[in-house]
Amino acid sequence: MLNQFASTGLHIEVKTSVLFHVGEFGVTNGMLTGIVGMIIFLAIFFYVGRKVKRGQSNRLVQIVQWAFEGMYGQIEQIIPDKKIARGIAPLALSIFFFVLISYWMSVLPGLDSIKWNDAPVLRSVTADLNFTFALAILSLIATQWYAIRQLGHIGNLKRYFRNPIKDPIGAFEGVLELIGEFSRYTALSLRLFGNAFAGEVLLVVMVVLTSYGALITLPVFIAFEMFIGVIQAYIFFILTVIFTYLAVQHHGDEHSDHSASPVPSGDEQK
Amino acid sequence: MLETLLTHVASAAEATGETTEASGDIMSSLGIDWQMLAFQIIGFALIVFLLGKFVFPILLRSIDERNAKIEEGLKAAREAEDNATKAQSKIDDQLAEARREAKEIVATAKDEATAMLSKADEKAKQNAKHVLDQAHDEISKEVIAAKKALHNETLELVASATERVIGKTHSAKADKAVIAEALKGADK
């Protein structure tokens, strides 16, 4: 079996492959699949939105509404302030559903076998570090945005920078918080990339190893990958919400210490 | 077998190493391209904006409406429960009132019945006494009449006996006068 495996000359590449160029801009396989995923994602949601607006319903609408309501319920459970929950919901829910659709696209038949310019056409956008980093950066920006809105610029900076003479432990904690702010988003993006990339490799390896037996083994691994897709989408979604909550929650901690706050919280504003 | 695989892996690693060396940094070996990254960020932000502007508000509104309906239903159920409790307590009060009134009616009826009974009893006693008195009067009268009759009869018997004893018949009128005189003397 190892001979067979070795003789296939299986070429696994971490980075996405450029399929063609639009001007100087290289369009990669991950990007192409991502655009297709984005079209599917937008089509489904605009269709569901239109149906819901008209008061019509069908099975797809019900499933999407059920998933949407469930996920939004999770946001409200984590972030009790409805205003912030509603604010972060579009990003968090878009991440969940888009990552899910993109991840599931990695199990489409033709993975690694349909090629153009010697590069596989199908590659999930979630297995592209550019995309996972993009998501992490957007999450980071959203978190900082809400933290600044809740705490103010100075208040938000105080989360990271404190007077080492007055509060040496707090100052050290702030440095750790600053490092943690970047590391948690890096970990978030690498986790999604690692799982998606490993999933694709796993499927290709299973096809190579089991040959015609792949007809039996592949559906099992495809189902497994689809399940992992749900888990990964959920993890990215829930961690984005939790990180946002932690950033705005900091305000509550400060409040309990009776320190001055430049901007009142959402509850106080009400 | 294993050797072949390892050779392949080693050659792949070598190739990757060469690429890394050629590109000069880890970012390009991982496929991170700043232009691509910016494109992905803008693309996804656009998706979020479009959905956040046109689709999610509709879905969130439908959730709010459903929650409002559920809340309304719960409120109505709570109100119905309160009304049912109030109605039940009203029914209980009315039942208690009815029972109290029924008791009063029964007690009044009992009192009236007792009064009527004692009145009837009194009347019956009076009637009985009246009947008894009448009976006594009649008996007295009858006794007097009987005594009178007996008196007359006794006079006749005495006259008859005397006639037989003396064997001589007197006139009835003379006899009666003699007997009456004798009796008067006897009474004295």
ipTM at complex level: 0.83
Q: What is the mean pLDDT of residues B61-79?
A: 92
pLDDT at A262 over 70: no
Q: Among all residues of chain B, which has the CA nearest to that of A5?
A: B5
Rg (chain A; Cα; Å): 22
Domain, as residue range, for A9: 2-269
Give A5-37 as a DSSP string.
HHHTT----SSPPEEEEETTEEEEHHHHHHHHH
Exposure letters B83-117 (e unless 16+ CB within 10 A, then b): eeeeeeeeeeeeeeeeeeeeeeeeeeeeeeeeeee
Chain-chain contact of A6 with B58 (C-beta, under 8 angstroms): no
Q: What is the mean pLDDT of residues A102-115?
A: 80
Residues of A in contact with B25 (CB under 8 A): none
Report B:9-38 residues touching A (Cβ under 8 A). 12, 28-33, 35-37
Over A195-213, what HEC string results? HHHHHHHHHHHHHHHHHHH
- How buried is residue B20: exposed, middle or buried, by Cβ count under 10 Å (0-12/13-18/19+)? middle
- Cβ(B45)–Cβ(A138) under 8 Å? yes
Q: What angle do CA A73, A76, A79 make, to 5 degrees?
A: 150
Question: Is the sign of the CA dihedral B127, B133, B137, B140 positive or negative?
Answer: positive
**B47 vs A: CB within 8 A:** yes
The encoded tokens of residue B36 equal 């691509």
Residues of A near B (Cβ–Cβ under 8 Å) read 2-3, 5-7, 9, 11-12, 14-16, 25, 28, 31, 34, 38, 41-42, 45-46, 48-49, 52-53, 65, 68-69, 72, 86, 89-91, 93-94, 98, 128-131, 133-135, 137-138
Report the percentage of chain B scoring pLDDT > 70. Answer: 84
Distances (CA, A) of B23 to A230, B17, B18, B27, B29: 35, 10, 9, 9, 7
The Cα A100–Cα A226 span in angstroms is 9
Q: What is the mean pLDDT of residues A165-172?
A: 88
B25 vs B107, more confident = B107
pLDDT at A265 over 90: no
The Cα B155–Cα B161 span in angstroms is 10
Q: What pLDDT, on a 0 to 100 scale, did the predictor assign at position A3?
A: 58
Q: What pLDDT, on a 0 to 100 scale, did the predictor assign at position A89?
A: 93
Report the percentage of chain A scoring pLDDT > 70. Answer: 87
Q: What is the mean pLDDT of residues B54-67?
A: 92
User: What digits encode the pLDDT tens for the residues B128-147?
Assistant: 999 999 999 999 999 999 99
Three-class DSSP category at A59: helix
Chain-chain contact of A130 with B62 (C-beta, under 8 angstroms): no
The domain tally of chain B equals: 1
Q: What pLDDT, on a 0 to 100 scale, did the predictor assign at position A7?
A: 58
In this prediction, residue B62 has a pLDDT band, given cuts at 50, 70 and 90, of: very high
- How buried is residue A76: exposed, middle or buried, by Cβ count under 10 Å (0-12/13-18/19+)? middle
Q: Is B179 within a domain?
A: yes
In this prediction, residue A28 has a pLDDT band, given cuts at 50, 70 and 90, of: confident
Q: Is B18 within a domain?
A: no
In this prediction, residue B6 has a pLDDT band, given cuts at 50, 70 and 90, of: very low
Exposure letters A167-194 (e unless 16+ CB within 10 A, then b): eeeebeebeebeeebeebbeebbebbbe
pLDDT at B163 over 90: no
Q: What pLDDT, on a 0 to 100 scale, did the predictor assign at position B80?
A: 94
Residues of A in contact with B51 (CB under 8 A): 42, 45, 90, 93-94
Q: What pLDDT, on a 0 to 100 scale, did the predictor assign at position B20?
A: 47
- Cβ(A162)–Cβ(A170) under 8 Å? yes
Q: Is B9 within a domain?
A: no
User: What digits encode the pLDDT tens for the residues B90-129?
Assistant: 999 999 999 999 999 999 999 999 999 999 999 999 999 9
Residues of B in contact with A2 (CB under 8 A): 1-2, 4-5
Q: Is B48 within a domain?
A: yes
Residues of A in contact with B14 (CB under 8 A): none
In this prediction, residue A110 has a pLDDT band, given cuts at 50, 70 and 90, of: confident
Question: Residue A187: what residue type?
Answer: A
Q: What pLDDT, on a 0 to 100 scale, did the predictor assign at position A267?
A: 42
In this prediction, residue A258 has a pLDDT band, given cuts at 50, 70 and 90, of: very low
CB atoms within 10 A of CB B67: 11
Question: Is the sign of the CA dihedral A60, A237, A106, A218 positive or negative?
Answer: negative
pLDDT at B9 over 90: no
Provide φ and ψ at A120, rounded to 5°. Answer: -60, 135
The domain tally of chain A equals: 1
- Cβ(A190)–Cβ(A172) under 8 Å? no
User: What digits encode the pLDDT tens for the residues B30-57?
Assistant: 778 888 889 899 999 999 999 999 999 9
pLDDT at A98 over 80: yes
Domain, as residue range, for B110: 34-187
Chain-chain contact of B62 with A65 (C-beta, under 8 angstroms): yes
**B60 vs A: CB within 8 A:** yes
